[in-house]
Structure 1
């Protein structure tokens, strides 16, 4: 069934009743005229006139003649009348009128002469019935509606102009601000002055907007005082009007009595919350952020009934936490989110977890040496937030890890360049690294009770290993190293064994290790903030040396986790045999030297474990005693542990030099760009001077 048009609806509402009544009267009148015509025809038939004559549709009379004479005579055919297209809604109503006889002026004249009383009645009561010009009522309705809409819009604009003209803008003065401050500090603040303060504060926050507000703040000193009073004193004044109750767990709630006052306060704070949300979007420093967030924290019990507003406030705080360039501002935003989640976990925690994770993923697209510290802070702080409710954290984590697995499956089933890009990017890698950090913190082996989140370890490890092996190209070896570090962290914290040496040994078969490298003056690679290198690095000595260092570092970090394990000799035996065989084939003397030192440390640690376990009186089945093996010895005192400590110190010194060189190169490039810009501006000025000189010369 077709949808009823807008014009038809308007016609049905305004004109349908009148039109039907009019048509009914016309139909009765036409019936009366038709009866009179029938009487005239019957009279003519009685006089014998119709026997010898025929009447056509136009009322023309033909005398009887032969058929041949009739066709020989030229007769003009009557022109068909143009049919007026009707709308679908009017067809059903007009079907009964198509067969009715058409009326003309002659019928009206006959009515006037034959029945003057009826004609007079129509003329006095409904003169429109005497006008038979075809009119489409829907067209008339559209015209009327357009006129009505134009007139209404004109009236509305006139009214708005009158209202703007009538509103008298009040300039906020210091006396007004002090009066509002005194009202808030009194024992029983007045609600009327609180409303004035809220409206003035809103106009001050939206000072750049074109809206017409009742108040305006033009003095900077007044603006600062107004901000402090609205953020500090207003929550205290609200608490005097409607004090909240605090439970034993520290949860604040509003009293059940005096609902009228609570609703009045909530309606005022609903307006005030819009100003707070606007301020969160434009935070410029840490002090302002702390002041705004503290004010919101005080007003949270009064805003719990407004879920949409509360969600906007949380989203504003999350944006500050994820996108602020100042570290202290990020800490202040996270402190607010953490306190709000602890106080109202059922209402706020799920929203915070999803919003924080989503904002974190959006803002980690741009990753470099400068942004890595901020991104790591977001990972660690958000991981702490997931520990507030592990069941809820499991739900959010399971859904996110499942989506990562779906993207990986699509890339495996549809191996194209675009599908690889969906996985091999910073956002995907940061997601895997975040879940590794979260599980490392919440499922630590030091915690006696088994965590619900521990069930996410296996799927996360499987997705991470699948991502590592998706594209075994030397260009993506930094991504492999980055994800292996996250798995090492996960294995160290949770005590779950993850076989990582096969993932590391695969890179030894690459041409980047086996081919003779070419010398190049290209900069070294920072593997901690890089997941992909340019093709210019492939085959260079700089990249090959970096790969050798990363291999030794990650292998030592993996095996040092089990340097005190009673089964360490059996664990390192396959790896030692593999590395010795590779050292014989390798033609890289620098890497062979590093590899020999690493193998020696593995053998030394194996002998150390064998000597310690020679005096053990229990078997492998006694897991409790096995877990206590070398518990009194620190891992740094083992041969492999001492080697790793030294390697970490060397790496830290190397990274410091590398980052300083990066910063110096960036400063030189920036200085070069500024210098080039200044030279171009100077050249433009010289060109302008020369052009002026040539113009003067031409004038002379």
Structure 2
């Protein structure tokens, strides 16, 4: 419902009572006249048709033929026979029109008698609305609408006349000049509602400068004035609003006092101003502009917090920038806004921000490659920080989304879809990123070292999600255990390794790694190929052309060595390390006896030696231990002060990581050079097209 205008309020206060009484008298009088009319129509009902037929007959019978054709266009037409319903409806319309005429006559008579009944009201009408005494049939609703428009126009004219900055304006649109902006800036030092409204309207016109479909009060043509208006709206407006309505800080959050009379008056202005923010957030590609918009919006956030729909649109717009922007600085600025808003208003905004960030991230992670992976990893790590603000709320949200992942997996296993498409709901980047994201969230929330730093006495509620997440991840890995999806297996294994390492929970990961040793992709002799090496970190599936090739087999062997060493490095200082690696060493030795891959056998032999050396190291260290396996507290503190990188297996893993890091650096440089060459070639082709178009234009001229 729209806001009641001033004219309507004035009419309700002064004239509504008299008008209602007058209408009751008119309705009573019309009812009496209607009853009389019904009696008269019932008595004369049979005579009227006869008169009509007689009149029609006389028209055609008494007129000679020469006069009939000489009458020109005024040709009388014989009336067709009408149905009963048509005649009844026509009679009703005649009755309505006659009743309207009678109402008008009665209204005139009542106005004539108004001088005796209510002389005070009659005198007021003579002074203020003399046209009402000269009564004519007019729709009262239309009259009231015209009155509202006249009052609004009068208010606007009076408001415009009060502004000193609008004196030079003669057109319908006010041209924004530098002098006008400077005058606004000076007036905002001691602001009022009117100057804030004018600046917000000018700011909105500047933001929508390319939108020709809407008409605004102000127009911007000067680039310098445009820049100053933008700065005025983003910097000065929040300061001016804070002067009119000062917020209070309670429990670390800003609150707006509702007893301030300016709150309701500024509400509509701020709602309109929020539309400009949303438009700027949707088009912000410049780092400085995005940071300025987010900073200005952060200042006005307390004034928007009570408008649920509006604040939801703002959060969704900022989250969309955070998830889709390719500029890291813009992503950081958007994350800072979300982080500050969630911490300042955890009850109002935290759940909204958590759900919106997760869903928006999934929508933008369908396209995953070596170029977009850094951006996606930033989103996952920063969103994990948001989920660490309030772990109780994060658990409720996380439980809901992990349950959805489990339902998708169950439907895929049960084959609710067709057999050809059932696995596609699981084997895609969105599902893999979801599992990896939740492993990061839980790993960060349930890290024992972080819990000690934050002095947490209770166990994090997020620990309850470890078991369901691990089960869903294991089910996704084993859904299709073919060589084509080994990259997906490796990607999810890395997520489990991170989760196990950060939380201290043992996850049986090595059986998932060792399954590739029984695959034909490793056991069979490979065929030579000139294909490029597989990027296992940025792919979850390989083409059919890679299967059985030497390139793919070498990549699988490298992944096996890397993941196996990364799994056992987590327990390199464990007191139970010798018992943990014994079955693994035996199985690897059996494999090496059967394998004909000399290069892979050497790599396995080196890994086995490091495992045995580390097992001997642990055995020597625990020979002096006086407690037994049942003393879990002392067992967990075994070699607690010893650095893992100094163990025999740790030294081996450090060297392997340095080699892999060097490979990644070389690959990244090659990709950047390739991307630069592609952009240069594209720019060159665009320049050539522009040059050819200019030449064609010159020839035409």
Distance between the aligned counterparts of 2:81 and 2:497, measured in 1? 94
Q: CA deviation at 1:287?
A: 1.1
Structure 2 residue aligned with 1:344: 345
Structure 2 residue aligned with 1:69: none
Cα offsets for 1:497-538 (capped at 9, x unmatched)? 000111011111111101111222211111111111111111
Structure 2 residue aligned with 1:196: 198
- Look up the SS of the partner of 1:136 in the other structure: helix
Cα offsets for 1:100-124 (capped at 9, x unmatched)? xxx97599769x9xxxxxxxxxxxx
Question: Does residue 184 of structure 2 align to residue 234 of structure 1?
Answer: no
Structure 2 residue aligned with 1:251: 253
Cα offsets for 1:186-244 (capped at 9, x unmatched)? xx312211111010001110111121101011111001111111111111111111111
Cα separation, partners in 2 of 1:18 and 1:538, compared to 1, 3 Å: farther
Structure 2 residue aligned with 1:468: 477
- Look up the SS of the partner of 2:537 in the other structure: helix
Question: Which of 606, 615, 619 is the aligned partner of 2:628?
Answer: 619
Structure 1 residue aligned with 2:396: 395
Cα offsets for 1:271-296 (capped at 9, x unmatched)? 11111111111112111111111111
Contact 1:556-1:644 at 8 Å conserved across structures: yes
Distance between the aligned counterparts of 2:576 and 2:517, measured in 1? 26
Question: Does residue 585 of structure 2 align to residue 576 of structure 1?
Answer: yes
Cα offsets for 1:77-109 (capped at 9, x unmatched)? xxxxxxxxxxxxxxxxxxxxxxxxxx9759976
Q: CA deviation at 1:417?
A: 2.2
Cα separation, partners in 2 of 1:671 and 1:290, compared to 1, 3 Å: closer
Structure 1 residue aligned with 2:173: 169
Distance between the aligned counterparts of 2:355 and 2:682, measured in 1? 42
Distance between the aligned counterparts of 2:509 and 2:592, measured in 1? 20
Structure 2 residue aligned with 1:213: 216
- Look up the SS of the partner of 1:252 in the other structure: strand
Distance between the aligned counterparts of 1:310 and 1:656, measured in 2? 43
Distance between the aligned counterparts of 1:106 and 1:133, measured in 2? 16
- Look up the SS of the partner of 2:500 in the other structure: helix
Structure 2 residue aligned with 1:545: 554
Q: CA deviation at 1:245?
A: 1.0
Q: CA deviation at 1:268?
A: 1.6
Distance between the aligned counterparts of 2:433 and 2:88, measured in 1? 63
Structure 2 residue aligned with 1:179: 183
Structure 1 residue aligned with 2:609: 600
Deviates more, 1:658-667 or 1:550-559: 658-667
Structure 2 residue aligned with 1:659: 668
Q: CA deviation at 1:682?
A: 11
Cα separation, partners in 2 of 1:137 and 1:108, compared to 1, 3 Å: closer
Cα offsets for 1:455-511 (capped at 9, x unmatched)? 001000000000000011111100000000000000000001000111011111111
Structure 1 residue aligned with 2:23: none
Question: Which of 108, 125, 133 is the aligned partner of 2:82?
Answer: 133
Distance between the aligned counterparts of 1:343 and 1:306, measured in 2? 16
Contact 1:537-1:543 at 8 Å conserved across structures: yes
Deviates more, 1:332-341 or 1:267-276: 267-276
Structure 2 residue aligned with 1:696: none
Structure 1 residue aligned with 2:10: none
Distance between the aligned counterparts of 2:543 and 2:690, measured in 1? 34
Cα separation, partners in 2 of 1:682 and 1:388, compared to 1, 3 Å: closer
Cα separation, partners in 2 of 1:434 and 1:592, compared to 1, 3 Å: same
| Count of residue pairs the alignment pairs up | 569
Question: Does residue 637 of structure 2 align to residue 628 of structure 1?
Answer: yes
- Look up the SS of the partner of 2:199 in the other structure: helix
Equivalent residues in 2 for 1:307-456, closer than 5 Å: 307-414=308-415, 416-446=419-449, 447-448=451-452, 449-456=458-465
Specify the structure having the higher radius of gyration (Cα). Answer: 1
Query: Gapped runs of 5+ residues in structure 1?
Result: 1-16, 34-102, 113-129, 145-151, 693-700
Distance between the aligned counterparts of 1:594 and 1:18, measured in 2? 111
Distance between the aligned counterparts of 1:663 and 1:327, measured in 2? 16
Deviates more, 1:565-574 or 1:659-668: 659-668
Q: CA deviation at 1:661?
A: 3.4
Q: CA deviation at 1:19?
A: 12
Distance between the aligned counterparts of 2:467 and 2:378, measured in 1? 25
Q: CA deviation at 1:265?
A: 2.0
Structure 2 residue aligned with 1:267: 268
C-alpha RMSD over aligned residues: 3.6
Distance between the aligned counterparts of 2:249 and 2:411, measured in 1? 51
Contact 1:552-1:594 at 8 Å conserved across structures: yes
Q: CA deviation at 1:389?
A: 1.3
Distance between the aligned counterparts of 1:213 and 1:648, measured in 2? 62
Q: CA deviation at 1:305?
A: 1.8
Question: Which of 527, 531, 534 is the aligned partner of 2:536?
Answer: 527
Cα separation, partners in 2 of 1:233 and 1:106, compared to 1, 3 Å: closer
Cα separation, partners in 2 of 1:537 and 1:20, compared to 1, 3 Å: farther
Distance between the aligned counterparts of 2:600 and 2:37, measured in 1? 104
Query: Gapped runs of 5+ residues in structure 2?
Result: 1-31, 58-78, 97-141, 154-169, 453-457
Distance between the aligned counterparts of 1:476 and 1:18, measured in 2? 90
Question: Which of 520, 524, 536 is the aligned partner of 1:511?
Answer: 520
Distance between the aligned counterparts of 1:464 and 1:345, measured in 2? 31
Question: Which of 609, 618, 642 is the aligned partner of 2:651?
Answer: 642
Cα separation, partners in 2 of 1:545 and 1:668, compared to 1, 3 Å: farther
Q: CA deviation at 1:684?
A: 12
Distance between the aligned counterparts of 1:191 and 1:657, measured in 2? 60
Cα offsets for 1:30-54 (capped at 9, x unmatched)? 6x78xxxxxxxxxxxxxxxxxxxxx
Cα separation, partners in 2 of 1:252 and 1:107, compared to 1, 3 Å: closer
Structure 1 length normalisation: TM-score? 0.75
Distance between the aligned counterparts of 1:599 and 1:439, measured in 2? 32
Q: CA deviation at 1:657?
A: 2.1
Question: Which of 599, 604, 607 is the aligned partner of 1:590?
Answer: 599
Q: CA deviation at 1:388?
A: 1.3
Cα separation, partners in 2 of 1:660 and 1:536, compared to 1, 3 Å: farther
Distance between the aligned counterparts of 2:621 and 2:508, measured in 1? 25
Distance between the aligned counterparts of 2:254 and 2:686, measured in 1? 59
Q: CA deviation at 1:660?
A: 3.1
Distance between the aligned counterparts of 2:281 and 2:469, measured in 1? 35
Cα separation, partners in 2 of 1:214 and 1:671, compared to 1, 3 Å: closer
Distance between the aligned counterparts of 2:340 and 2:592, measured in 1? 56
Contact 1:318-1:356 at 8 Å conserved across structures: yes
Structure 2 length normalisation: TM-score? 0.75
Distance between the aligned counterparts of 2:692 and 2:237, measured in 1? 59
Cα separation, partners in 2 of 1:193 and 1:577, compared to 1, 3 Å: same
Cα separation, partners in 2 of 1:520 and 1:659, compared to 1, 3 Å: farther
Distance between the aligned counterparts of 1:18 and 1:463, measured in 2? 82
Contact 1:167-1:214 at 8 Å conserved across structures: no
Structure 1 residue aligned with 2:161: none
